[in-house]
Every structure is written in structure tokens, then in C-alpha cells.
Amino acid sequence: MLLLFMSAICVAFTTEDTDEFASARREVLFRRIGHELLLQSGDSVSRVLPIKKLAENEYQIAFEKGLTFQPDFLVDTFRGLLAKDPLISDYVVSVLNCANSSVAYGFSLSKNKKEDIVACIGRKQPKACYIINIKLKQTGINTVKTQYLLGGLSFLAVVGFIFFRRVKPTKNLPNSDQDTTTFTLGSVVFDAMNRKLLLNEKTVDLTGTETRVLLIFALSPNETIERTRLQKEIWEDEGVIVGRSLDMFISKLRKKLELDPNIKIVVIRGRGYKLEINS
């Protein structure tokens, strides 16, 4: 039972962190596509707006200013750049007019090129305000992985109900002197095992990576943590280190630590970060 429980926890951490990294990398690819379209339109000054995630497998590219595009260039750009994402198989691209959301152009691409649907590639589109929606097909690996995870968690829920109904629940949280997975940060309790922040009646959930980052800070409060150390301990085991990912998780942690204004993560220029806890 214990091994099954530990396996489920490991799968949950790995799946969540992998999905977060894949999503962040995918957004970079979409920004690159937007950049290439602006250059093709003769615009090297205006910006690609922040990528929006509309749903689990749907994204949107928007632009600061209007542009024009060649459909064949658009198709080739998507095909070339999204081929770098091994988790993307089939997808549908819709170019919409900003004014009325009508479809100005669209196509569907697949790793099996016989299933591609592409038309009107020789007709240049007039300059206008466009947004681009991308709908991705969920890969079979993700579907199977989700089914196995849900099935395993359902089994663990039944086993857990039978086991824990016999255990009298404790009312008080253990303090950090007795349990190295629970820390008191100012007026906030950090429960690393259950990935939560608690203050009075408020509870804030943490992701697996956020928990691991905060745990490093919690073990050395008011001390500077080197940026390279954070990157090495959090991401090196996954075979890749991305500096922007660290900044993203630090930003998310800052917002969640706003439960207590006396706790904050500050930047130590040229070195890293520090978890400041003001008494």
C-alpha cells in the first residue's frame, strides 16, 4: 500500500512538472511563429502580445498592430516550428478578424501529411488586425497516461478510506521542530508534504515544482540562495535547465506568499534570491 501511494505521488509530480515545462516551451514556439509573421509582413518593431491559453489544448496568438500574411508562408512556418514539439501531432489553425471574429483563413495539419487540409495558399491576405487560434489534438500517450493515473488514484482512494477510517485524526499541525516537512514562515504554515500554505482559515495549493522551490528557501530563510543552485536542484535531473522557468515559478510563489506581507522573495542582484521573513 505504501509503495503504491508513493508511486502515485511520484507520477503526479512528474506529470505535472512535465506538462508545465511542455506548455511553457510551446508558448515560446507560438511567440516565434508570431515573430516570423510580423517579419514577413515587414514589421520589425511592433510586439507579439502575450500568448493566451484558451483551454487545455487551445492557444491564441495576438499582435499589437495589424499585419498581412501569405497563407503558404503561414502554413510552412507552423509546420516547421511545431515539428520541434514531439507532443504535438495534429492541430487546426484558425486566423480570425479581430473586428467580428470571422475566419479569414484556416488549415489543418497532421504528422500524417495525407490528412492535411490546406487551401487557397496562393492568395495574400490584406493588412488587418488578426488573431490566430491553435487547437491541438491530445496525443494518445497523454490520454493513456491520464486514464492510468485516474484509475490508480481511484484505487488508492478506496484503500485509503479503509485504512484511514481506523486512524484518529490529529487536530493540531505539527511544528517545524518535530516535522521537517512542515515549516512556520512568519504567520504562514508551509506544509511541504501536502503542498499547501495555511494561514488561519485560508489554504493555498502549491504545484510540485513550487513546493520544491519553496522548500529550498524554507530550509535557509533570510539567506541568499544562488540562482545556479536552484536551477541545478530543481531541473537538472530532468536533463534540461531553463532560466525563464525559474523566474516564472518565483513570480507565482511571490503571489501565493502574499498571505503574509512580512514574507517575500527578493532578488539579490548578480547572485540569486532570498526568502525574507520580517519578525
Residue 140, pLDDT score: 47
Residue 167, pLDDT score: 47
**Residue 261, domain extent:** 182-277
Does 8 lie in the same domain as 129?
yes
Give the H/E segment covering residue 12.
Answer: helix 2-40
In a domain, 97, yes or no: yes
In a domain, 169, yes or no: no
CATH of the domain at 254: 1.10.10.10
- Give pLDDT tens digits for 94-109: 999 998 989 999 999 9
- Give pLDDT tens digits for 119-142: 877 788 899 999 999 999 866 445
In a domain, 91, yes or no: yes
In a domain, 248, yes or no: yes
Residue 86, pLDDT score: 80
Q: Which of 125, 140, 155 is where one domain is finished?
A: 140
Q: DSSP letters of 174-236?
A: PPTTT-TTEEEETTEEEETTTTEEEETTEEEE--HHHHHHHHHHHHSTTSEEEHHHHHHHHHG
In a domain, 256, yes or no: yes
Number of structural domains in the chain: 2
- Averaged over 145-154, what is the pLDDT? 60
186: closest CA among 194, 195, 197, 177? 197
What is the value of pTM for the model shown?
0.47
